Copies of this chain bind each other. A is one copy, B any other.
Amino acid sequence: MRKMVEYVVLAALVHEPRSGYDLTKWLTRVASHFWPVVHSGIYPALAVLEAEGLVHYEAVASEQGPERKVYSLTVRGREELLAWVDSPAPTAQVRDEQLVRALCYGYLPREEALARLAQVRQAHTERLAHYEGLERQIVAADEIGAGGSGIAGPARVGKLLVVRCGIISEQGYLRWCDEAALLIESMRMVVEA
């Protein structure tokens, strides 16, 4: 049974060939909101996939720093990836410490809860801006590459889908923050100092 990080690597490589370093950076930028990766997980995954003939690499001299191993999918790699893509996915798993805390906001002094919420809102505003920036990049790249046809090419579809999901969920989180602030303001005080 293949590890998820291996599929993530395959999914990144179907878009374009990349080195482990590039893969890490790209995935951190565009995929961290649905699958976090760190470089120390990427390199072993690439080694496994290479040993099994799903990817292969070309050593390319770097302008700066050590030699780069630029990986791309083999035919078998692409086949195995797409077979997996067209299979049912288990329910997404979320670990949101903030919501565990939110479960107890009723037991916190009102201003403390509101202050925490304001911080959370700020963080999500920044993340939303990040995804909106990515979206603009994708749209801009389309206008150059496809003459602004508006018709989606295979690589563009995937990138757009995940960035749109990021945007929608951040917008939702912001809506929640506003709603939560209203609810907390209406809260009976538990402790009056």
Q: Which of A's residues lie within 8 Å of B, judged by CB?
A: 4, 7-8, 11-12, 14-15, 31, 33-36, 78, 81-82, 84-86, 88-108, 112, 116, 119-120, 123, 150-162, 164-165, 168-169, 171-173, 175-176, 179-180, 183-184, 186-188, 190
Residues of B within 8 A of A102 (CB): 158, 161-162, 165
- Report which of B92, B108, B162 forms a contact with A85, defined as CB distance below 8 A: B108
Residues of B within 8 A of A173 (CB): 165, 168-169
Expressed in whole angstroms, the Cα–Cα distance for A89 and B95 within the complex equals 11
Residue in chain B with minimal CB distance to A78: B107
Residues of B within 8 A of A155 (CB): 106
Residues of B within 8 A of A81 (CB): 104
- Report which of B94, B150, B179 forms a contact with A34, defined as CB distance below 8 A: B94
14 A-B residue pairs with CB within 8 Å: A8-B100, A11-B100, A33-B94, A34-B100, A86-B101, A86-B108, A89-B98, A92-B95, A106-B156, A151-B187, A151-B188, A154-B187, A157-B184, A172-B172
- Given the interface pairs A157-B183, A183-B157, A188-B152, the reply to whether A101 lies near B119 with Cβ below 8 Å is no
B33 and A103 contacting across the interface, CB-CB below 8 Å: no
A176 and B188 contacting across the interface, CB-CB below 8 Å: no
Residue with the greatest number of chain B CB neighbours at <10 A, chosen from A98, A101, A176: A101
